[in-house]
Chains A and B, each alone.
Chain A
Amino acid sequence: MREFFHRKLERNAIGFVLAIILVSGIGGFVEIAPLFTIHETVEDAPDMRVYTPLELAGRNIYTREGCYACHSQMIRTLRDEVERYGPYSLAVESKYDHPMLWGSKRTGPDIARLGGKYSDAWHVAHLINPRDVVPQSVMPKYGWLMRNELKTDDLGKHLAAQRAVGVPYTDAMIANASADAYGQASPDSPYASGLSERYGEATNVRAFDGEPGRLTEMDAVVAYLQILGRLTDAAHRQAAAAGK
């Protein structure tokens, strides 16, 4: 009977195409659509803040250089991972990550909670030549980050596009994006205070690459690495509540 049915189906090209679309469409629909509608999928974290323009620029450089190919940003709910890297990652922590950078491979360690773990100077030295600080490391050198000036003139457009996909940047944040990027790496400049107003007093404001006068790609990348895992305390609060 089944064979008879299939013999008819395979004589009809359009019918066959429709059957493929129908049969292949079910799985993805059932698994993906509810993730947008079930509220518990993403936890609530009222203290969650957005990336500053400098951190976002750093994140874009992280993407550009393909860092996600070797570093995950997703601590799994396994004892050894929690003890090695910190509280396991919550969905809310990457709520503003367009796209997410959870990664799929750890040639190097997970860096979901890297922020604050090392000094800026360590990161700068490590990015220029990883083997200067970790002799057995196989990580590539990123010397050009220190040589390249950061492109800031289009950061407003970046923030506007982020808002278009759902990140709550305000008009003031978009309007001041370039100045805020400069201010975050120049603590003594007049732009630094506006940044703290818009993104919170806890925002890191310092010369990340050690050179206050110049805004380099290194400033952006280190600013990004230092905020990893620190946009919200939700994961630490949950771990504390669980009695750890």
Chain B
Amino acid sequence: MIATLTVAERQSAIALSMLVAFFGLIMMIAGSGDVLGVHGVIVLLFGLGFLGLVMSKYFEPEPPQERLTRYYDDPTKVGIVLSLGWAVVGMFFGVWVAALLAWPDLTLDAGWASFGRIRPVHTSGVIFGFGGNALIATSFHVLQRTTRARLPDQVTPWFVLIGYNLFCVIAASGYLMGVTQSKEYAEPEWYADLWLVVVWVTYFLLYLRTLQRRKEPHIYVANWYYMAFILVVAVLHIVNNLAVPISFGSAKSYSLFSGVQDAMTQWWYGHNAVAFFLTAGFLGMLYYYLPKRAGRPIFSYRLSIISFWGITFMYMWAGSHHLHYTALPQWVQTLGMTFSVVLLVPSWASAGNALATLNGAWDKVRDDATLRFMMVAAVFYGLSTFEGSFMAIRAVNSLSHYTDWTVGHVHAGALGWVAMITFGSLYALVPWMWKVERIYSPKLVEVHFWLALSGTIIYVFAMWNSGIIQGLMWRTYNDSGTLAFSFIESVVAMRPYYIARTVGGSLFLLGAIVAAYNVWMTIRMARLRGVTETGGTDEPVLPGAGAALQPGE
């Protein structure tokens, strides 16, 4: 892969690796005696590792000019592999933390292995590691196909992908060492946050540069979503992570905001991480891979427009529904509730648009597990957005908040929607990328589908039950007018559901392992056959008929 870089590009890759290693060295020196120093060592080794990798291929001949007539897919391939690797790691930690709630001593007597430290490894591992890598990988693929333009250079996409994974590694290793800001889904400390800003701005500029080279006059709807994802996540990340470090030699910082303002900022971030990371980005995936795999154009262009702008406008108001009945002023809670309910309209417009696109292709849904992953994802997207709007209503929230119902809701979205659309898209994408006519084993895709679906259903039903029971037990009064249950009685009542949840999660993890194996074997199959052989249905060449997908009308 390094051999496909031009000599000038190899030089900039070397310069970037040295720069990263240099920063690692500074962190190591400035943060000696602090966990910042440990992270400095990791960054230094990361930079030196890539330096060595590029140097080892430095004297290879220049790549042929002919490469410019083809799309640049190497970063997408690596992104797919990284995404599946993180999926297995992140879900393993998920099963572990789930098991700890049923068997609390299923761990070591050491800080790094305790529930509170490994839980964020699970959340960040699946959201940022699995989801984020899949988004970056697919966005590079979709962007090039829908603009019929090659990425502008061969270094920037690597910088984005590798830099992003460096962020993920720093985040996950930091949690184990106790480095966290405690802001949910924004746990990494100030230096990791600053690094992500650099990576993210580069990602945005890369997207814009490629768009400016496009040979299609219109920007396809999938790119609207990817752009909203990149842009808004940047804004959310920067504002919510404003903090003052105690010194430049320490990992610790204190957030700029406090109390009620901090809570509102955090949930403005938290809910829109759901909106623009876990929804907009993956809708971008849906709008490309589902119609491609079904062989049908998007059902309605007009619905696409309405749902896109509806989601972009309204989600940003919805965060305060996380703070009903708290010390947040009532007017903000009411605004959040109102917009959360209205948000159902654009959400269902998207889900309906996706399902209506399958009209005329339902036989394929029956036969093709890959397309079925995408169909089920659209259904779960519809279900969990309905549930979300419902739970945002103040009276419902009084029961559901603080309980496992929230956890169930999140996983209906994360497993049913985000993971399903990702697996479906990756199964479609992998044969195109490695130029083989099909995945190694369609049967294993089928097995994965049923593992994933049964795992999701067991998980979500367990959490619905436990959440509602918990909520009811906390508010039940006896005849004498006092609370009927102590808190610990509600904990005891959760145990069967915590066990069921662990089972559901294990099935889902097993499915992810099957997926990783299947993709790995597909790559091996492609290697054995030799990459020169053409197959696959993806348009391989830039000039020629406009096979790129048009907004359907």
Contact = CB atoms under 8 A, between A and B. Distances in A.
B268 A137 contact: no
Contact of A32 (B258, B265, B323, B487): B265
B533 interface: no
A83 B312 CA distance: 41
Given A64-B178, A98-B262, A166-B258, A138 B227 contact: no
Contact of B231 (A21, A42, A143): A21
A78 B402 contact: no
Contacts of A16: 219, 224, 227
Interface in B72-123: 100-102, 104-105, 107, 109-111, 114-117, 119-120
B230 to A, nearest CB: 10
A192 B486 CA distance: 39
B182 A99 contact: yes
B534 interface: no
Nearest to A43: B327
B438 interface: no
A72 interface: yes
Contacts of B488: 134, 136-137
A244 B389 CA distance: 35
Contacts of A72: 402
A67 interface: yes
B116 A157 contact: no
B182 A161 contact: no
Given A89-B326, A138-B104, A165-B256, A157 B250 contact: yes
A19 B182 CA distance: 33
A165 B258 contact: yes
Interface stretch (B12-20, B154-162, B314-322, B378-386): B314-322
Interface in B195-249: 208, 211-212, 217-219, 224, 227-228, 231-232, 235, 239, 243-247
A237 interface: no
B260 interface: yes
Interface in A85-106: 88-106
A99 B269 CA distance: 14
Contacts of B266: 99-100
Given A105-B402, A141-B105, A10 B491 contact: no
A42 B218 contact: no
Interface residues of B, number: 102
Given A32-B268, A136-B491, A13 B325 contact: no
Nearest to B217: A11
Contact of B101 (A67, A98, A101, A138): A138
A65 B246 contact: no
Interface string B396-426: 0010011100110000000000000000000
Given A78-B325, A138-B101, A13 B119 contact: no
A110 to B, nearest CB: 8
A139 B487 CA distance: 13
A31 interface: yes
Contacts of B323: 102
Interface residues of A, number: 90
Contacts of A20: 224, 227-228, 231-232, 312
A41 B260 contact: yes
Interface stretch (A22-30, A178-186, A198-206, A208-216): A22-30
B329 A41 contact: yes
A157 B247 contact: yes
Contacts of A154: 246-247, 250
Contacts of B109: 141, 143-144
A99 B240 CA distance: 11
B397 to A, nearest CB: 9
B292 interface: no
B114 A140 contact: yes
Contact of B259 (A2, A67, A97, A144): A97
A26 B219 contact: no
Interface in B154-174: none
Contacts of B180: 63-64, 66
A66 B115 contact: yes
A88 B243 CA distance: 29
B184 A104 contact: yes
Given A26-B316, A66-B180, A78-B325, A13 B261 contact: no
Contact of A42 (B102, B260, B336): B260
Nearest to B229: A20
Interface of A: 2-3, 6-7, 10-11, 13-14, 16-17, 20-21, 23-28, 30-32, 35-36, 38, 40-42, 60, 63-70, 72, 74, 76-78, 80-81, 83-84, 88-110, 130-131, 134, 136-144, 154, 157-158, 160-162, 164-167
Given A104-B402, A134-B488, 20 more contacts: A13-B219, A24-B235, A27-B318, A31-B317, A32-B261, A36-B261, A66-B180, A70-B116, A77-B325, A84-B483, A99-B183, A99-B266, A136-B488, A137-B488, A138-B102, A141-B105, A142-B114, A157-B250, A165-B254, A166-B258
11 contacts: A31-B332, A35-B261, A35-B329, A66-B182, A84-B474, A98-B255, A99-B258, A100-B262, A102-B326, A105-B406, A108-B491
* 8 residue pairs, one from A and one from B, having the closest CB atoms: A66-B116, A27-B316, A76-B325, A27-B317, A94-B259, A64-B178, A91-B327, A99-B255
